[in-house]
């Protein structure tokens, strides 16, 4: 466990919230803070985002925000965690509904759900499962928002491997999936750099790249 200079504590789940809500009223405030954080990201970006403005938009006392989050980094980490949970839930539903064949089918659905969230989910173009932009003031370590020991892409790869069941259990696949995450991250960032809906050609190339690369690690 690493101690941060601003007093935050890191756990295996990333930057820990001060207190995760249990009661319904507190949970509603917690979610409202994350909702307004996401909306503000679309308006001002992560660099200009402040906890004070998030609290004001959410109509929550600033003291209440700090009951849940130790600062800006903690707030963004909670948003990244929520985004990942929702992505995995969406992907799981697609997998159950469509029963895709093999790694290629899994890859296609994963890319499609990520792109759909990129287009429609507030704040997702600034914070998906980590920061998309450069490190803003108030954030000391954007690479470990989800996990204290794994960087964001490695943490996502591990969750995807769990979701896929035995599909990625072939020896060497954990490393391959990790490399695939880095490739997908880079190309999809490029796809959305100048097009809010994502360049269709680059999105298609992301799928092809991942299918071809991961196919090399299948038995036989």
Tens of pLDDT, residues 149-208 = 999 999 999 999 999 988 888 887 888 989 999 999 999 999 999 899 999 999 999 999
Answer yes or no: is pLDDT of 218 > 90: no
Q: How far apart are CA 115 and CA 93, in angstroms?
A: 16
Q: State residue 181's pLDDT score.
A: 93
For the chain, how long is the longest CA-to-CA vector? 60
Q: How far apart are CA 189 and CA 205, in angstroms?
A: 13
Q: State residue 104's pLDDT score.
A: 94
**Does residue 47 come out as left (phi exceeding 0), alpha (psi in the -120 to 50 range) or beta?**
alpha
Class of domain 10-215 (CATH, top level): mainly alpha
Average pLDDT rounded to a whole number, residues 93-110: 95
Whole-number average pLDDT of the chain: 89
Cα–Cα–Cα angle for 198, 200, 202, nearest 5°? 85
Q: State residue 61's pLDDT score.
A: 96
Q: If you count DSSP H runs as helices and E runs as strands, how many of each does the chain have, helices first?
A: 8, 2
Q: How far apart are CA 61 and CA 76, in angstroms?
A: 18
| Sequence spans of domains, the chain | 10-215
């Amino acid at each position: 466990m690493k101690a941060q200079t601003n007093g935050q504590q890191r756990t295996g789940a990333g930057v820990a919230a001060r207190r995760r809500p249990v009661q319904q009223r507190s949970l509603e405030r917690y979610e409202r803070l994350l909702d307004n954080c996401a909306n503000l990201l679309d308006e001002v970006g992560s660099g200009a985002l402040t906890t004070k403005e998030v609290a004001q938009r959410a109509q929550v006392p600033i003291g209440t925000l700090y009951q849940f989050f130790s600062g800006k980094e903690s707030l963004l980490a909670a948003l990244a965690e929520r985004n990942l949970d929702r992505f995995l839930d969406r992907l799981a539903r697609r997998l159950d509904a469509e029963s895709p064949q093999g790694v290629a089918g899994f890859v296609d659905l994963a890319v499609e759900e990520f792109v759909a969230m990129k287009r429609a989910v507030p704040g997702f173009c600034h914070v998906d499962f980590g920061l998309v932009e450069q490190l803003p003031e108030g954030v000391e370590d954007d690479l470990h928002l989800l996990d204290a020991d794994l960087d964001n892409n490695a943490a996502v790869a591990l969750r995807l491997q769990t979701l896929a069941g035995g599909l990625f259990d072939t020896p060497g696949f954990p490393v391959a999936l990790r490399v695939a995450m880095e490739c997908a991250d880079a190309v999809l960032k490029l796809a959305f750099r100048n097009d809010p809906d994502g360049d269709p050609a680059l999105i298609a190339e992301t799928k092809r790249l991942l299918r071809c690369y991961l196919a090399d690690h299948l038995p036989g």
